[in-house]
Amino acid sequence: MATFLPTFLDELRERLTLSDIVGKRIRLLRAGREFKGCCPFHKEKTPSFYVNDDKKFFHCFGCGAHGDVIGFTMRHDGLSFPEAVESLAAQAGLAVPQDTPMERERFDKEKSLHHLLERATVFFEEQLRTPAGREARAYLLGRGLQDKAQRRFRLGYAPSDAQALIRQLQGEGFGLPDMLAVGLIKKAEDRPDHYSFFRNRVMFPVANRRGQTVAFGARIMGEGEPKYLNSPDHALFHKGQLLYGLSRARAALAQGQPLIVVEGYMDVIALVEAGYIGAVAPLGTALTEDQLALLWKMLPPLESREPTRDYSPILCFDGDNAGLRAAMRGADRALPLLTAAQTARIAYLPTGEDPDSLLRSAGRSAMQAVLDQAKPMVEVIWDMALTGRRLQTPEDRAVAARALRQKVAVIRDETLKTLYQDAIEKKLAALFQWEPKGAPNMHKRGEKQRKTGAFPTRFVPSTPLPHRLQPTGSLKLREKVLLAIMVNHPALFHEFGDELAHIGFISPPMEALRQQIVTLFSQDSQEPLDAAALYRHLSLGDAAGGAQKGLADVLSEATFMHAGFARPDRPIEQARQGWKSIWNKYLQEQLQIDLQAAGRLWHEDPSDANLARLMSLREQMETLVRESDEQMTYDSNQDSLL
């Protein structure tokens, strides 16, 4: 009779979801965290057959049938043990290994290394509760981890004594070669002895999918570098092919929770403690394709997913520059691999926050708000390609469109690529025609004017504002005030969106911020862009073009001391009148330039057409001056430079 190595059988059980295999034979209905159906092994009308994916077994309360995926296949399909294993291996995409002496020796060696790493885990756990571990316990308590959480995650302490671990493990019969093989110790370069690789650090055991310790992460408690040390790759551990927290994350899907990828060990622990058991993290590296594949393999088949639920993992990154760069790398790695069944969403934390700090400072509701706003990949690549770009000239737009199309082109699934291309082209068309969401549609409005002859008398300059003006301190201040009005009172965008879209600022940070605001309102998003949502989006703009620095300048007291009407607590009518007043000044200055040019042209060529042009511009100037006189009067400390 054929025999199979336990490691292979464990891998087979991990690769397959029991409810998927059973569900192909009988009809299953979800019952809380389990599935139920009528037992296929005895006749019954009331379901008493239950399948538990977390525990990986089935049980019938009617006839007592019980077992795992292999046992079910044997019993239902009438197969022998080897036949059932071979059938399931084919479904899981696994090659059945031969039980040779070499394979048996490899299994025995891996079993010994697993035992060694387990004993090291116990040693570190025990050291945490000794007097030597006092500082480590204080550090963990300071991070909000009580004794129960420390034990739940098997946290430990590596003592400063470089020989303590070696003495303990040698006393239990383990040899130095095995300790070297799994990275627990190092050989000294200048002497024949060995020393512990991890010393005076808090220890985080890293488990494989079966919950067995295969590596460690170690954090320094005070100042110093490196902040984290991680086990090197070895026979049981390849850091690019495993995720911290993976062994418990599978249960999240059965409980209706998402898989959440964060950046660090403490983030995973904080999320799990807050109830998000699907939290995982890479192991000292950027998210890899293999790690994405691990997440996607945990998802149920497409045909068995609930249509109202989003199963895609959420990649959640810290709200700093490094986090934003990590988000971009994660998206770039995911794009070629996307299919209808495997995709991802990306969530951005507030600037300066990680999941651990956000949960401690603002609680679970704040974290849930971040997860609820996770963006699908099509919006992520739009943001990555366009945020912070100039989009004023045809050349600017061509570069932006090319960047987007290049992003989409890497998707290998042809059907999905076509759908992405269609979505991106529609968004580009809407953006380049300046039809931001909520703003008046300029093309439809123009068509109506052509039909009725009701053209506006308001002056519209022939080139974007204020590129024809010389830079001045007053002009730069106006730019800040206009942006402050829009950030604090985004409801005004439906009135003044066209104006903001067609203006051009002389200050690069202000121009970057202006473009980002217009881009955000142009997107077809379900999220209402109130002041809080707009600020949150804009605060992510640093990595894309310096918009974050500009935002801080715009919302500074130095701006509001000259324009109190732009403050967030002022009535929107004051902000509206403030915008009109500033815009009127822009138009007057631009119109004055056009008047001077028209006057020179009429003196050079006193034709009727040139005279009509000159008189029309003078009438428009009079209208602007009259409107300016009718604007609201500001306190002198609010309007002195505007």
In this model, does residue 604 exceed pLDDT 90? Answer: no
| Three-state SS at 202 | strand
Q: Is the pLDDT of residue 239 over 90?
A: yes
Residue 151's closest CA among 121, 196, 107, 191? 121
β-pairing, 29-31 vs 34-37, is antiparallel
**Residue of 495, 479, 555, 490 whose CA lies nearest to 525:** 490
State the CB neighbour count (10 A cutoff) for residue 565: 28
Return the percent helix, strand and coil in the chain, to nearest 5.
55, 10, 35
Structure tokens, 313: 């993992």
Residue 121 has pLDDT above 80, yes or no: yes
Which comes out higher in pLDDT, residue 613 or 247? 247
Each residue's pLDDT tens digit, 290-308: 999 999 988 887 877 888 8
Contacts (Cβ under 8 Å, ≥6 apart) of 203: 124, 128, 155, 156, 157, 158, 216, 217, 218
Would the pLDDT of 642 be above 60?
no
pLDDT at 6 over 80: no
32-85: per-residue pLDDT in tens? 778 999 999 998 889 999 999 878 899 999 999 999 999 999 999 888 888 899
Q: Over the stretch 356-410, which tens digit does the pLDDT of each residue have?
A: 999 999 999 999 999 998 999 998 888 888 766 777 788 888 888 898 999 999 9
- Smallest CA-to-CA distance from 639 within 590, 577, 569, 596 is with 577
Query: In the prediction, which pLDDT does 587 show?
Result: 82
| Helices of type H across 314-393 | 321-334, 355-362, 364-372, 377-386
Q: What is the pLDDT of residue 388?
A: 63
In which element (H, E) is residue 14 found? helix 6-15
Task: Place 2 in a pLDDT band, splitting at 50, 70 and 90.
Answer: low
The burial of 77, by beta-carbon neighbours within 10 Å (0-12 exposed, 13-18 middle, 19 or more buried), is given as exposed
Q: How far is CA 341 from the centre of its chain?
A: 19
CA proximity to 380, closest of 407, 410, 355 = 407
* CA contacts within 13 A on the Cβ side of 332: 11
The Cα–Cα gap between 107 and 541 comes to 51
| pLDDT for position 344 | 96
Query: Among residues of the chain, what percentage have pLDDT more than 70?
Result: 86
| pLDDT number for residue 535 | 82
Q: What is the pLDDT of residues 189-217, one digit of tens each?
A: 878 799 999 999 999 999 998 889 999 99
Collapse the DSSP code of 562 into the 3-class scheme (helix H, G, I; strand E, B; otherwise coil) and give the result.
coil
Instruction: Reply yes or no on whether the pLDDT at 112 is more than 60.
Output: yes
Cα–Cα distance between 219 and 88 in angstroms, integer? 41
Q: What pTM does this model have?
A: 0.61
Helix (H) or strand (E) holding 314: strand 314-319
Tokens of 280: 């995982």
Residue 228's SS3 state is: strand
What are 435-474's pLDDT values in tens digits? 433 333 433 433 433 333 332 333 344 344 444 444 445 7
How many CA within 13 A on the CB side of residue 65?
Answer: 22
Give dist(CA 19, CA 58) in Å, integer: 9
Mean predicted confidence (pLDDT) in 539-558: 68
State how far the Cα of 120 lies from the Cα of 168, in Å rounded to an integer.
9
Contact 346, 335 (CB under 8 A): no
Beta strands per DSSP E along 101-143? none
The DSSP symbol for 503 reads: B
Q: Are strands 279-280 and 260-261 parallel, antiparallel or unpaired?
A: parallel
**482 pLDDT exceeds 70?**
yes
Residue 273: is its pLDDT beyond 90?
Answer: yes
CA-to-CA distance for 34 and 21, rounded, in angstroms? Answer: 14
Average pLDDT over the chain reads: 83
pLDDT band per the 50, 70, 90 thresholds, residue 631: low
Output the CA torsion sign for 122, 124, 127, 133. Answer: negative
DSSP single-letter state for residue 302: G
% of the chain surpassing 90 pLDDT: 41
Q: Can you tell me the distance from the alpha carbon of 144 to that of 142, in angstroms, rounded to the nearest whole number?
A: 5
Task: Indicate the pLDDT class of residue 583, thresholds 50, 70 and 90.
Answer: confident
User: In this structure, is the dihedral angle defined by the CA atoms of residues 382, 385, 390 and 391, taken in order, positive or negative?
Assistant: negative
Task: Name the pLDDT band for 1 (thresholds 50, 70, 90).
Answer: very low
> Would the pLDDT of 125 be above 90?
yes
CA 330, CA 337: separation in Å to the nearest integer? 12
* Radius of gyration of the chain, Cα coordinates, nearest whole angstrom: 32
Ramachandran sector of residue 363 (left: φ over 0; alpha: ψ -120 to 50; beta: rest): left
Question: ∠186-191-194 over CA atoms, to 5°?
Answer: 25
